[in-house]
């Protein structure tokens, strides 16, 4: 099964210059836990998760209305391609210890998001999905 068959397409993104409040509102309205961050074009600069908003933003005591996404986003975003297989995507997730991949096209534009949940629901390779969850959930070495 390919990433294209499992991913959430037509993904909404946010600008790095928008506020943490705007990101939280967009996540709430879309019922999602992550948004790709784009510059003025379609190219992906990073990703921001609901956890980023709390751990990198609110926990530092900054005012959410004034805090920009570029301060809390993950810049080293891990991406995959629509033609990758479920196994390739899970290997990327395990290696990077992440639960979501931004799916990009040839130009680096976001065309979707693939979550570990998407793989679990669509792929039906329960043993491999379980191994991926275990590897991702293991604490990183100090």
- 107 sits in the region (left: phi over 0; alpha: psi -120 to 50; else beta) called alpha
Model confidence pTM above 0.85: no
Tens of pLDDT along 67-98?
999 999 999 889 999 999 998 998 998 898 88
Residue 34 belongs to a domain: yes
Number of domains in the chain: 1
Residue 142 belongs to a domain: no
**Nearest Cα to Cα of residue 94 among 42, 137, 33, 54:** 137
Residue 70 belongs to a domain: yes
CATH of the domain at 45: 3.10.580.10
Q: Domain residues for 37?
A: 3-137
Residue 76 belongs to a domain: yes
Residue 25 belongs to a domain: yes
Residue 119 belongs to a domain: yes
**Which residues of the chain register pLDDT less than 50?**
none
């Amino acid at each position: 099964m390919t990433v294209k068959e499992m991913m959430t397409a037509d993904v909404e993104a946010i600008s790095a210059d928008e506020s943490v409040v705007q990101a939280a509102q967009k996540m709430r309205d879309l019922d999602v836990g992550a948004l790709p961050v784009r510059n003025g074009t379609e190219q992906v600069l990073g990703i921001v998760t609901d956890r980023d908003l709390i751990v990198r933003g609110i926990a530092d005591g900054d005012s959410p209305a004034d805090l920009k996404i570029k301060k809390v986003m993950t810049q080293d975003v891990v991406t995959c391609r629509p033609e990758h297989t479920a196994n390739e995507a899970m290997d990327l997730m395990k290696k990077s210890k992440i639960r979501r991949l931004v799916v990009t096209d040839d130009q680096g534009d976001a065309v979707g998001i693939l979550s570990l949940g998407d793989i679990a629901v669509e792929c039906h390779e329960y043993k491999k999905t379980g191994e991926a969850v275990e590897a991702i959930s293991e604490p990183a070495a100090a």
